[in-house]
Amino acid sequence: MLWTIIIILIILWVLGIIGHIAGGLIHLLLIIAVILFILKLVRGRKNR
């Protein structure tokens, strides 16, 4: 599910760059998604 959110946010981010649609919000959501992804990677490696 996290991968789906990341892909959607990247698509929205690219569209935001091209069309300047809600640029600030999309960048904020993309940063949050990247942070969550990194946290998932770190937590996943600790459990192994």
Q: Count of CB atoms within 10 A of residue 16's CB?
A: 19
User: 21: burial class by Cβ within 10 Å (0-12, 13-18, 19+)?
Assistant: exposed
Residue 40 has pLDDT above 80, yes or no: yes
Task: Supply the pLDDT for residue 48.
Answer: 56
Give Cα separations from 41 to 9, 15, 19 (angstroms): 18, 27, 32
Task: Supply the pLDDT for residue 33.
Answer: 79
Looking at the chain, list the stretches that DSSP marks H as alpha helix, in order from N- to C-terminal side.
Answer: 2-19, 23-46
pLDDT tens digits, 16-31: 667 666 666 767 777 8
Cα gap 33→13, rounded to integer Å: 12
Task: Supply the pLDDT for residue 22.
Answer: 61
Mean pLDDT (the chain) is: 75
